[in-house]
Amino acid sequence: MLSIIIPTKNESKLILKTLLPLQKLRKNKTCEIILVDGNSSDSNIKIAKPYVDKILISQSDRSIQQNIGASVCKNNLLLFLHADTKINLKDVENIILQNKKITWGFFKIKFDNNKKKYRFLEFFINLRSILFKYGTGDQCLFMSKDIFYKVGGFPNIRLMEDIGICSSLNKVCNPKIINNIVTSSSRKWESDGFIRTIIKMRIYRILYFFGADTRFLKDNY
């Protein structure tokens, strides 16, 4: 059995596209969907309510939202899904079937944009994931509840919480990297500028690894 945790804030335009493909699993009672909303000011909660099992309200901080969601899960396997990421139903079903064999892992990624530059970006993100054995939140991190609590859940930091938990998980065991692909939105890259976003993310990641205050990084993200 699987618990899918979705942190959101003001995702009314995208949330249905994420939730609708998962409804078969809810009907079959093979998973529960928990939405943790960061005080949205749009109709996100109203739209999502018929398609999830639980809605929780939290401050808008992804690490806190995901930890709160995990704390109320009734199943042993957790999957953290961003609202702008689509996951194939069969891939979720395969994870459920492998439940007892899974410690933690993530998927390879592609972006919902046909521009060639995103193919290069996908290649380097997926290569980095294989070489360094960590994934980002857009790659749908999944793990057993036991190992989640063994490493203390997501670190209480305002940015890079996905890198933080992967670093802790890697100290326990290697991830299972699923070759199948999840599709993530390119909206951030498009709105902030492709090259600018790459440079900014590389700088922030370097600063994070050298111990920079994540409150400062988040405020300037």
Render 121-148 in DSSP notation, one character per residue: HHHHHHHHHHHH----GGG--EEEHHHH
C-alpha 118: how far from its chain's center? 19
Q: Tell me what pLDDT residue 110 has.
A: 96
Maximum separation of any 2 CA atoms in the chain, in Å: 46
Q: Tell me what pLDDT residue 202 has.
A: 83
Q: Tell me what pLDDT residue 219 has.
A: 58
Instruction: Render the burial of 96-125: b for 16+ CB within 10 Å, e for the rest.
Output: beeeeebbbbbbbbbbebeeeebeebbeeb
Q: Tell me what pLDDT residue 218 has.
A: 56
Instruction: Note the pTM of the prediction, 2 decimals.
Output: 0.93
Q: Tell me what pLDDT residue 182 has.
A: 95
Q: How many CA atoms lie within 13 A of 100 on its CB side?
A: 0
List of E strands, 61-210 = 77-80, 85-86, 104-111, 142-144, 176-184
Domains observed in the chain: 2-185 (3.90.550.10)
Helices (H) and strands (E) in the chain, counts: 11, 8
Q: Tell me what pLDDT residue 164 has.
A: 93
Q: Tell me what pLDDT residue 68 has.
A: 98
Q: Please, what is the end-to-end C-alpha distance for the chain in angstroms?
A: 36
CB 116 within 8 A of CB 163: no
Q: Tell me what pLDDT residue 213 has.
A: 67
Apex 86 CA angle, 81 and 89, nearest 5:
95
Q: Tell me what pLDDT residue 86 has.
A: 93
Question: What's phi and psi for 76, nearest 5 deg?
Answer: -85, -20
Q: Which residues of the chain have pLDDT under 70?
A: 212-221
